[in-house]
């Protein structure tokens, strides 16, 4: 497959789980109408970003995989003939939960899943309370549209994750995301944060010679504990294998946009910039250490 049409669906979320899922599904339908073969949804698209506070009642939001959401998304994928990357709060067992990306094949079956490996624990992003770190490693998921290197949000700051996906044959890096600003930060700091977020992911494209798709949510979500909440900055984007921006979404508007990727360009770029060839793996042993004291 030389050309791959990828749909990026960003939208706001509320405490109405059904309305959120419908918004995601309507975005998938709109992308399919524009010719999408693959559609990527934002992180935890079924609901509000509940990790602003530590609250055991939020575990009730988790669901099994396969489960209700994958059944509905699977039926939609089959009816539209598209591959879908969804992001769900997985209930694996009582007391064991993951932040999990699920790839649904165009025949409605589950092609594979990825459990978020890097788990943040910062003010407003208390994910370690909710999510057990992934145990499935960094392995691309085989689909009818190619080998997808699916990662999740906080993973996007770690070059090791992108590299391992590339080394396993991923043809595309995909990041469902939920990230935004605190209103306590001034506009200059907010701008630096968003630019850093885009830059590091574009750098993964450059360093690995692969296209990157990143899909983020929009809207203000209040902090249940009375804090300032989070203004999610949208800006879903697609970048080519040299980090070139192919599309950038708005900061605050729902969108369902299709971007056409030239999948043959990775081969061309890697012939000119053969980073994989020139890696000195015989001298990288210390990368397995936390820090070189």
Which residue pairs, CB below 8 angstroms and at least 24 apart, start in 58-61?
58/130, 59/91, 59/97, 59/130, 61/17, 61/89
Choosing from 13, 43, 51, 255, the catalytic residue is: 43
Rounded Cα gap, residues 268 and 264, in angstroms: 7
Neighbours of 64 (CB within 10 A): 13
Greatest CA separation found in the chain? 56
pLDDT of residue 98: 98
Q: What is the pLDDT of residues 204-257, one digit of tens each?
A: 999 999 999 999 999 999 999 999 999 999 999 999 999 999 999 999 999 999
147 is catalytic: no
pLDDT of residue 45: 98
pTM above 0.95, yes or no: yes
Q: Alpha helix locations (H) across 119-172?
A: 159-167
pLDDT of residue 288: 94
User: Which one-letter DSSP state was computed for residue 132?
Assistant: P
- Tokens 């800006």 label which residue? 235
pLDDT of residue 235: 98
The tokens of 3 are what?
């050309």
Arithmetic mean of pLDDT, 250-265: 98
Partners of 143 in beta bridges: 146
Choosing from 13, 90, 116, 127, the catalytic residue is: 116
Cα dihedral 239→243→246→251 (10° resolution): 70
Q: How far is CA 292 from the centre of its chain?
A: 30
- Tell me the three state secondary structure of residue 104: strand
78 is catalytic: no
Strands (E), the chain: 3-10, 38-41, 83-93, 96-104, 110-115, 121-122, 125-126, 141-143, 146-150, 172-176, 180-181, 212-215, 218-221, 230-233, 237-239, 245-248, 255-262
Q: Are 163 and 29 in contact (CB under 8 A)?
A: no
Neighbours of 40 (CB within 10 A): 31
Q: Are 95 and 41 in contact (CB under 8 A)?
A: no
Taking Cα atoms as reference points, which of 52, 25, 270 lies closest to residue 179?
52
Choosing from 105, 153, 221, 255, the catalytic residue is: 153
Q: What is the pLDDT of residues 81-132, one digit of tens each?
A: 999 999 999 999 999 999 999 999 999 999 999 999 999 999 999 999 999 9
Quickly count helices (H) and strands (E) in the chain.
5, 17
- Tokens 């549209």 label which residue? 145
pLDDT of residue 121: 96
116 is catalytic: yes
- Tokens 């970003």 label which residue? 49
The tokens of 196 are what?
């850093």
pLDDT of residue 18: 97
Taking Cα atoms as reference points, which of 82, 69, 76 lies closest to residue 20?
69
Bridging pattern class, strands 255-262 and 3-10: antiparallel
């Amino acid at each position: 497959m030389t050309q791959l049409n990828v749909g990026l669906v960003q939208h706001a979320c509320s405490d109405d789980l059904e309305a959120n899922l419908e918004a995601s599904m309507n975005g998938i339908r709109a992308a399919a109408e524009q010719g999408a073969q693959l559609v990527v949804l934002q992180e935890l698209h079924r609901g509000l970003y509940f990790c602003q506070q530590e609250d055991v009642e939020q575990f009730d939001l988790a669901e099994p995989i396969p489960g209700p959401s994958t059944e509905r998304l699977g039926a939609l994928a089959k009816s539209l003939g598209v591959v879908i990357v969804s992001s769900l709060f997985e209930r694996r067992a009582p007391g064991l939960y993951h932040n999990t990306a699920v790839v649904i094949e165009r025949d409605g079956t589950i092609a594979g899943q990825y459990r978020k490996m890097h788990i943040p624990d910062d003010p407003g992003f208390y994910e370690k309370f909710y999510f057990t770190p992934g145990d499935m490693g960094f392995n691309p998921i085989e689909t009818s549209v190619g080998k997808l290197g699916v990662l999740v949000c906080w993973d996007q700051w770690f070059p090791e994750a992108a590299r391992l996906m590339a080394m396993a044959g991923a043809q595309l890096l995909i990041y469902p995301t939920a990230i935004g600003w605190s209103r306590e930060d001034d506009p200059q700091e907010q701008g630096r944060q968003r630019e850093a977020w885009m830059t590091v992911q574009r750098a993964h494209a450059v360093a690995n010679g692969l296209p990157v798709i990143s899909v983020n949510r929009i809207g203000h979500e209040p902090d249940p504990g009375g804090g300032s909440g989070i203004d999610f900055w949208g800006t879903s984007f697609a970048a080519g294998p040299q980090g070139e921006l192919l599309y950038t979404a708005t900061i605050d508007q729902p969108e369902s946009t299709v971007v056409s990727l030239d999948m043959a360009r990775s081969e061309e770029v890697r012939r000119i910039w053969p980073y994989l060839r020139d890696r000195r793996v015989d001298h990288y042993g210390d990368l397995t250490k936390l820090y070189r004291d």
